[in-house]
Every structure is written in C-alpha cells, then in structure tokens.
Structure 1
Amino acid sequence: MDPSANPLAGTVTGPPEPAALPAYWHEHAGLLITKPLQLLAILLVALVLRALAHRWINRLSTATAAGRVPAILSPLTDRAGVLPFWESAGLVSERRKQRADTIASVLRSAVSLLIFITAFLLVLQVFEISLAPFVAGTSLVGVALGFGAQNIVKDFLAGMFMMLEDQYGVGDVIDVKEATGTVEAVGLRTTRLRDVEGVAWYVRNGEIIRVGNMSQQYAQVVLDVPVGIGQDVPAALAVIAEAGAELYADERWLPSLLAEPEVLGIEQLGRDQTVLRLVARVKPLEQWRVARELRARIRSKLDNAGVGHALAGPDQPE
C-alpha cells in the first residue's frame, strides 16, 4: 500500500500534553499545600501547648488546695496552718482552695493569651504580612490603654501579690487604715469588708498601703487595770492573777486560750492611780470575747477584795 494513502503512516507521536489542573497545582503548591499545612501545624502545636500548660497548672492547683504544696508554689503555704484550730474549723483548707483556684485561673488565662498571640504572629509570618504596621498600631493602642487602665493594672498586681503572700483571706478581721472589719470577699481588684456597724466597705487592692491582720496564728488580749493610790497593789496583782487562772481552768473557756493569762505587773504610775497589766494569748478572733469575760471576772474579784476603783482596757472592736 502506498504510504501516502494513509495519512497517519510515518507520523511520530510525542508525549501527551500535561493536564491543566496538575500544572495549576504545581504552580500554586505553596499557597494550596505548604501554607495550609503550616497553618494546621501552628494551630495544632498551640492547642497542644495550651492543653499541656492548663493540665500542669490544674495539677499544681489541685495539689495546693489539698495541702501538698509544690516547691514552685511554696509562697502559697498557709502561715495560719500552724494551729490545729484552723484545720479543725475548715478555714485553712477553704482559704487555701480559694487562693489556689484564683491564681490558677489567672495563670491559665495568661498562658492562653501568650500562646494564641504567638500563634497569631506566626500565622502572619506564614502569609508574609509585614508586622511593622501591626506592631506600631498595637504599641499606640497599648500606650493609650496603659494610661487609662494603670490603676486597674496596679490593683490587679497588688491583688496577685496579696494572695501569693497570704496577707489576709475571707473571714479575717483586718485593719487597712481606710476601714476595719471582717473580710467578706477577696478579689484581684477589690476587697470587701464588713465593719462592726454592718457597713460594707469596698477597698481597692492597689490603694492598700498596709494591712493589720488580727486573725493570723494567734491573738493577744491586753488588759490594763487601774487601781487607786493607797490601794494594796500586791493584793490587786494576786486578785488579777487569780481571775486569769480561774478562766484558764474553766472548761468552757479553755478551747479559746492558748496559754494561761499572765500578770506582767505595774505598767504605769500616775498621781491618782497605778495601772496593772494582764496579757493572755488566745486563738484568732477570740480576743474580744475573752477580754470581756476577763474584765467581768476581775471587776467582781476586785470589788469582793476591796481593792481597786475602776477597770479599763485598750480600745478594741467588740
């Protein structure tokens, strides 16, 4: 047959043309494959790190609330826990749990914020977005917020250190200069007190310069007993010591006392009276009740013994 009769005879067939779709994938592999994988890896790493950090913080919080304080959280140890009274009343465990939960919540929020901000910056870097305008804008916003919220930051930091150092907790009776009363609520920004007249005081943590805590470890009853000039001072001292010994021997009052009341002796000498001092170490928040009972007993014994003419004590909240 004549080859010229066959139009396909002698024609050399080359390799097939590549399809359009594979060529498109090849040209845009960075955008369609590499970058999504990078984004997925950043997201997965951020979520894993967040979960591990939260788990670690929760374990520390649980151990601290249960009384097993890790070395890293040693500032959370309760100074008030040295007295069995606190444990038996359940105050130490509740106070420890409150502080541990609060600090753990703050740590979890801070860790999550740090991880997600870092992940967001890495995502911007993957898409080759310049961070200079973003950083400049963020700096301006940060400066504006810093001036407007500096008091909030100050209160927040003061509340954090207050909890870490266990300066006071719910149920304590404290004096913060602006107000004196029982602590009803402790937050990272404010502390709420209730005074003896029932007034609720809200004190910003950043404004608390000094704190006098009347509820930690133990309290001290200090009674100054004046006797008139010409009275038998040794007899008055013996009567006061007897009143203290009887109170210490009373089973109804013994749980409130940590030691037998002690007569220190003559505290002041005046033209018309001599002041004698009695001290007693008691459990926290028991000082005012014990002081009232001691005053009543001393007054009665002094009258029966015929010595003394008045009874006084330091100004203390009733």
Structure 2
Amino acid sequence: MPSCAALRRLLAPLFLIIAVAGLTAAPPAGAQSVSGEAGSAASADPSPALTNLIEVLRDEAAREALIAELEALTPPEAAPDSAVLDVEQTLARRLADASALLVEETLSTARTVWRDLLGFGRIGETLSAEKLDAISEAWLPLLSTILSTVGLLWLLSRLASGVLARADSTPGGDTLRETLLAVARNAVLDAVVLGLAYAAGYVLAYSVFGSSGDILVEQSLYLNAFLVAGVVRLVLRAFVRPDRPEEAISHLSVPIQRVIYRRVKALSWLLVYGISVGVPLANAWLSLGAGRSVRVLAVTLAAMLALVSIRKVARLIEADGKAAAAQAPVDGSEAEQVVGAIGEASVQAATSAWNRIWPWLASIYVLAVWGVAVTRPRLMGEFVWGATLRTLVACALLVLAFRLLRHARRARAPLAGVVTRGLPALQSRLDVFAPAVVRLVALVLSVGAVALLVDAWTALDLGAWLSSATGAEILWRVASAALILALVVLTWAVVAAWIDQRLAQELDGPQVSARSRTLLALFRNAFTVAIFIFGLMIVLSQVGIDIAPLLAGAGVLGLAIGFGAQKLVQDIITGVFIQLENAINEGDVVTVAGITGAVEKLTIRSVGLRDMGGIYHIVPFSSVDTVSNFMRGFAYHVEVVGIAYAADIETAKAAMQEAFERLRAIPEHGEVIVGDLEMQGVIALSESSVDLRARIRTQPGKQWGVGRAYTELVKTVFDERGVEIPFPHRKLLIEREAD
C-alpha cells in the first residue's frame, strides 16, 4: 500500500516536532518540587527569604526581571466603552494595530531574552562565601551520583540488548499484533532497566554519596530528572528504534528513525536536565536572575535544535519518498497499472505539497512555544504543556491508525481454536469483513485524534460537548448502531458458516439429503437478504433517521416492481411452488425448458443446469412449463436390441437374460439393481431387424451406468451364442416379365 507508506512519511515529521515542542513546553517537575521545598524552607526561616529579596533588589538584571513579572501580573486597563468611540474601527486599522502589537511583542521578547542572557556576565557578582561553601559541599556527591546512574543505565541497557538478541531469533514486525507485542515487551524491559538504575542511584546517593547519611537536595533534583528523561526515552523507543526498526510502531526508514531518536533524546536531556536541575541549582547557588538566564538559555538552545531537526527530517523524508516512488513495482493488468499510476500520482502530489508545508507549520509552532516559555513561563504548565501532551497522544493515535491501514488487507478475525474447529467456515466468512472493520477502527482513531488535537488548543471543548445532552446522545447513537451492525454481521457469519458446513459434508460423514441441501441454500440466500435489510433499517433508525418514509417508499416500489417486472414476479412465484412441490433439488438430473442436465444451483427465481457437453444453463422459472426429474423414487434402463430375421427369438431372449445375470453378479451394479429383468419381448418388426425390449429397474441416478454395462454384456453374449445383430440393409427384388 504505497498510499499508507506515504501517509506514514507525512506523519513522521509532525510526530517529531510535536515531541520536540512538548519537551520544550514541559514544566520541570523537579523545578516545581524544588520551588515548593524552597517556599516551605523560606516560611520556616524568614531570614534567608529577606536576604534573597535584598540580593534581587541589588542585582539590576534580577530587579528588572522581577518588575517585568509583577507588571505581567497587573490586570490590564479596562477597554473604553464602545459607545465612546466616534466611529467603528476599520479592517485596515485593526490590521495595523495587530501588526504594531506583533512588532512590539517581538521586540519585547528579544529584549527579555537578551537581558536574561546577559545575566551570565554577572554571575561572579552574586557569588558569596556562603554560596561557594554550598557549591563545594554538593558538587562531588552530585557528580558521583550522575556518573553512577549513567554507568548503571548503560551497563543494564547493554545486558538487556544481549538478552533480547539471544531470546528473540526472529524479531517480530510482520503483523501489527507482533509489532505491538514486541513494543510492549521492550517497554517493560526498558522500564525494568530504568527502575533498577534509578533505585540503585537513589541507594548510592543516600548511603554512599550522601551527606551525614541523608540525600542532598541537588541529588534528589538530579534523580527526579533522570527518571523523567528515562521515561521520555522509553516512550520514544516505542515509536522509533534504530537498532531494531521492525519493533517500532512507526515503520519509517532506519536513517529517519536514527535522526528522530538522536535529536529527540538530545532535546529531552537538554530540557529535562537544564530546567529540572540547572534552573533550581542556579537559583540556589547563584541568584534568581541566574536561574532565569539558565532557563532562557535551555529553551533557546532547544528551539534552535528543534528547528535544525525539522529541516533535517524534512530532507530525509523527501529523499525517502522519491526513492520509494522510483522502486515501486508495476504489476497487474493494464487497467490496474493505469489506476495504480493515477493513485500514485495523487499520493505523490499530496506528499509533495505536505513536504512543502509542514516544516513551516512546525517551525511556527516551535517559535510560538519558545516565545511563551521565555516571556510567560507560567502559561507553560497551565496551557501549552497540557495541549502539547494531548497533541502527542493524538499523534500516537494517528500513527496507530496508519499502521492499521497498512495491515488492513491482511487482517483476519481473531477466533479461538475451539470455534474454528466447530465451524471451520466461520473464519473465512468473518475474514471478508475484517479489512473493513480494521479500516473503520483506523477511521475512528483518526477522527478521535483530530478531535483531541482541536480540543487541545481550545478550538473545541470536547469534554464539555461529550458531557452535554447532545454529545452524549450522538455518542450513544453511534456506539449502539455500531454494536447492532456488528451483531448483524456476526449472526449472518455464524448462520452462513453453519449452512456451509452442512452443505460440505464429506462422503464418509453424515449425508445431507438433496432436499435439505436445496432448502439450506435457499434459506441462506433469503436469510442474508433479510438480516442485512432489517439490520440496515435498525441502524438507520438508531442513528436518528426516520425509516417510516423509507418503508412507505419500499411499499410503493414493490407495487411498481410488481406491475413493471411481471416476469420477475412470475419467476419468484413459480420458484416458490416448485420448491413446495419438491420438484427440483440440487444434484438432480432434470429436463426443463427443453434442456437436460444436472442441477448445480437453485435460487428462488432460476435453476442452473450443466448438460452433458459441460455447458452451464440458467433457466428462469417463468420459462418452465414442465419439469422432468430423473431422480425420483426409482429409474429404468430400457434396452432395445435388434436381431436378424433369421435368428431365433427365444435364443436371443435367453442371451439377454444371461447378460442380465452376469450384470447382477458384478457388485458395483448388483447393489443398485432393484428386481429382476423385465422382458417385454418383440416390440417391432423393423426394416432390417426384429426389435426386442427389456427393462432393468435401478436406484435413481444409476440407470445410465447400469445401461452402459448391460449393453456391453448383451453384445458379448450374442456373439458367444451366434445371435446376429444385423446391419441396416435393404433387399431389392427384381421381377421378370412372363414370356
């Protein structure tokens, strides 16, 4: 499916950039906890708080930053009443005001960033003897904790990779189920490795590297950031895994997975450790201005790295798409090749357009998040982080939806072994609907992802809509309609599979009569039409469509069909009475409308016959005046033999009786012969022979085989007894005139 592959390539950059922006928008948990700890410590001891306030007021950069934050907290002035305005603002005026506001905000952001970055130049002024003592006391335990946890994580990861390489000789990825199982297994193993490394680091920090048997705040900050970064890496490896690409949810090429994995991991380290560890340490060891400078530097570097990664991934995806298009196989018929070429051209056009658009959209998104992180960091936790997290979930749903589309053509219904043994045909019946069900699930996931994405950025309050009466009613109607449709399909599949099993009985198993086979086939057809029609009506009624006009229209349509398609009505009525009278069953040999053959298919309006020449005939019942069935009760083989006029008739009759006895001695034929030979004697004195006739009564359907064998034996016995079978001839007598 080249279209699904192209769609996955379209989705890959969006996943990368949303992940990058999510990391940029993430409020540091460690920073929040440290702020809480600092606040409680300040409330317990007011002297350090006063000292910090004095230091902030003395530091020019920190003082300006504090003033900017206080001004941001000041409520805006009330807008003048519209009644006071002389004239309504024009569109051009509004555009000019918006442009001026944009320029002003951009310049303000640039000044803020520049001012915060210049704060690094005044770090030496904020260092005091007390802070130098705190730094000298904490840096060695902190560095030891960092080295020990990183080393343990690397060692345990190598051991886990070795375990996977030895335990899994055939890594999965051919089916979606195998891929998801592999992803779940790897996630559990990564979680165990991360948990062991985190626990070991915490134990070492507490017992070995701690101060006086207690863990330092700096060590706690790092360990929390280590855990967060490990979780980000765990989630990332579920979607992209360059070392084992077949075990990743997104089946991108290895170069693209490698770039995404390395860049997102670098971003996670920069943001998580920079904001969760660097900012609190700068606040505690240096000053609040230094912490603000560290935060601005971290988010700025992350934004720059994200922008560079966007361009890199865009180039790789474009090159990968061109290579895939060049290597796409061309097979099938000429019509299929034309259709495939049109579809491929459409996909290529959409891919080309998307490849030109998405880098700009992603760059704008990253710059907007960077601006919020720099100027209004409080909005990160309230709005941007929550929206970005839901966007990540939406991207994950889209990736899963495209994976489902990729495997839709090979989807099979997951049935238990006991079910398939009881109804073998059920698997094939449900497999017909499995691709459609998978595509429907993919569509639902895509719609849910789009709705979640819209709700994430406050364009739609999805929660409020779902909790409303209208939303709940629509959701219930759609869910109940889907459930009813699933029950209809499942019921039809079970009934059809049971009928197929009854119609496909082996010769050594319990036999099904021809009458039962005919009625079962007709019931299957009628049941299929009835259950899908009534099921569709119930589904339409469940989703809120009034089916009363449909029923009335169906009645009118039925009358119109009854008058306009009288032959069709005659076919059906005749077929009903033929079935009621048990005139024709599947497997019978019949003569209808002048055609003799074996009945292969029987519907409510026609019969399908295969004649002796192998030609298949479909005869509508409206053309049937008489049904001649060769398979009812018993049958006769009628043998007519011509002997010469000079042959003895009694000798010929005895020879025919002997041939019958020999025939009955053959087990294959003797079992199907019913009664003795019925000798009827001379029936005609033909031009060149005396015709004798005899009948052999057999089981229905066996008369042709018995007749062929009997004719052969009659010829053999006649030759043995010297009974002549004459050739057709004519004797000419020439009379002489009398002298």
Shorter-normalised TM range: 0.5 to 0.7
For the pair 1:265 / 2:679, whether they are aligned, the reply is yes
Inter-partner Cα distance in structure 2 for 1:103 and 1:134: 25
Cα 1:150–1:201 change in 2 (3 A) is: same
Out of 526, 535, 558, the residue aligned to residue 106 of structure 1 is 526
Q: Tell me the CA shift for residue 151 of structure 1.
A: 2.0
Cα 1:150–1:297 change in 2 (3 A) is: same
Contact 1:225 1:311 in 2 (8 A): no
Residue aligned with 2:584, SS: coil
For the pair 1:196 / 2:624, whether they are aligned, the reply is no
Residue aligned with 1:92, SS: coil
Out of 698, 701, 719, the residue aligned to residue 282 of structure 1 is 698
Q: Give the match for residue 176 of structure 1.
A: 592
Cα 1:311–1:194 change in 2 (3 A) is: farther
Q: Give the match for residue 227 of structure 2.
A: none
Q: Give the match for residue 669 of structure 2.
A: 256
Q: Tell me the CA shift for residue 259 of structure 1.
A: 3.0
Show the 5 A alignment for 1:65-80.
Answer: none
Contact 2:593 2:623 in 1 (8 A): no
Deviation per CA, 1:102-146: give whole Å up to 9, x if none.
22542574588689989x99xxxxxxx9x9x99987665443222
Deviation per CA, 1:269-290: give whole Å up to 9, x if none.
5445433222222233332222
For the pair 1:295 / 2:715, whether they are aligned, the reply is no
Show the 5 A alignment for 1:140-155.
Answer: 140-155=556-571
Q: Tell me the CA shift for residue 191 of structure 1.
A: 1.9
Inter-partner Cα distance in structure 2 for 1:307 and 1:153: 59
Show the 5 A alignment for 1:227-266.
Answer: 227-250=643-666, 254-257=667-670, 258-259=672-673, 262-266=676-680
Inter-partner Cα distance in structure 2 for 1:180 and 1:225: 25
Residue aligned with 1:294, SS: helix
Q: Tell me the CA shift for residue 204 of structure 1.
A: 0.9
Q: Tell me the CA shift for residue 147 of structure 1.
A: 2.2
Out of 558, 578, 584, the residue aligned to residue 167 of structure 1 is 584
Inter-partner Cα distance in structure 2 for 1:244 and 1:90: 33
For this pair of structures, how many residues does the alignment match?
258
Contact 2:673 2:699 in 1 (8 A): no
Contact 1:174 1:181 in 2 (8 A): yes
Q: Tell me the CA shift for residue 212 of structure 1.
A: 1.4
Q: Tell me the CA shift for residue 229 of structure 1.
A: 2.7
Deviation per CA, 1:46-102: give whole Å up to 9, x if none.
99xx9xx99xx99x989x989xxxxxxxxxxxxxxxxxxx98687635762452242
Contact 1:61 1:101 in 2 (8 A): yes
Q: Tell me the CA shift for residue 180 of structure 1.
A: 1.1
Query: Structure 2 unaligned runs (5+)?
Result: 1-480, 729-739
Contact 1:221 1:288 in 2 (8 A): yes
Query: Structure 1 unaligned runs (5+)?
Result: 1-42, 67-85, 122-128, 313-318
Name the amino acid aligned to 2:699: K
Moved more, 88-97 or 274-283: 88-97
Q: Tell me the CA shift for residue 148 of structure 1.
A: 2.4
Q: Give the match for residue 36 of structure 1.
A: none
Q: Tell me the CA shift for residue 255 of structure 1.
A: 3.2
Q: Tell me the CA shift for residue 219 of structure 1.
A: 2.4
Q: Tell me the CA shift for residue 195 of structure 1.
A: 1.4
For the pair 1:306 / 2:719, whether they are aligned, the reply is no
Q: Could you tell me the TM-score, scaled by structure 1's length?
A: 0.57
Inter-partner Cα distance in structure 2 for 1:241 and 1:179: 34
Name the amino acid aligned to 1:199: I
Cα 1:274–1:293 change in 2 (3 A) is: same
Larger radius of gyration: 2
Name the amino acid aligned to 1:92: V
Q: Could you tell me the TM-score, scaled by structure 2's length?
A: 0.28
Contact 1:227 1:274 in 2 (8 A): yes
Higher helix proportion, which one?
2
Inter-partner Cα distance in structure 1 for 2:552 and 2:512: 48
Q: Give the match for residue 96 of structure 1.
A: 516
What is the Cα-based RMSD across aligned positions, in Å?
A: 4.9
Moved more, 290-299 or 89-98: 89-98
Cα 1:311–1:174 change in 2 (3 A) is: farther
Residue aligned with 1:152, SS: helix
Higher strand proportion, which one?
1
Contact 1:245 1:261 in 2 (8 A): no
Q: Give the match for residue 37 of structure 1.
A: none
Q: Tell me the CA shift for residue 179 of structure 1.
A: 1.2
Inter-partner Cα distance in structure 1 for 2:704 and 2:599: 17
Contact 1:190 1:202 in 2 (8 A): yes
Name the amino acid aligned to 2:668: P
Contact 1:262 1:279 in 2 (8 A): no
Cα 1:206–1:220 change in 2 (3 A) is: same
Name the amino acid aligned to 2:573: L
Cα 1:263–1:303 change in 2 (3 A) is: same
Show the 5 A alignment for 1:1-40.
Answer: none
Cα 1:191–1:284 change in 2 (3 A) is: same
Residue aligned with 1:296, SS: helix
Contact 2:684 2:692 in 1 (8 A): no
Cα 1:105–1:135 change in 2 (3 A) is: closer
Inter-partner Cα distance in structure 2 for 1:298 and 1:134: 70
Cα 1:281–1:232 change in 2 (3 A) is: same
Residue aligned with 2:512, SS: helix
Cα 1:260–1:134 change in 2 (3 A) is: closer
Q: Using the aligned pairs only, state the percent identity.
A: 25
Inter-partner Cα distance in structure 1 for 2:693 and 2:616: 35
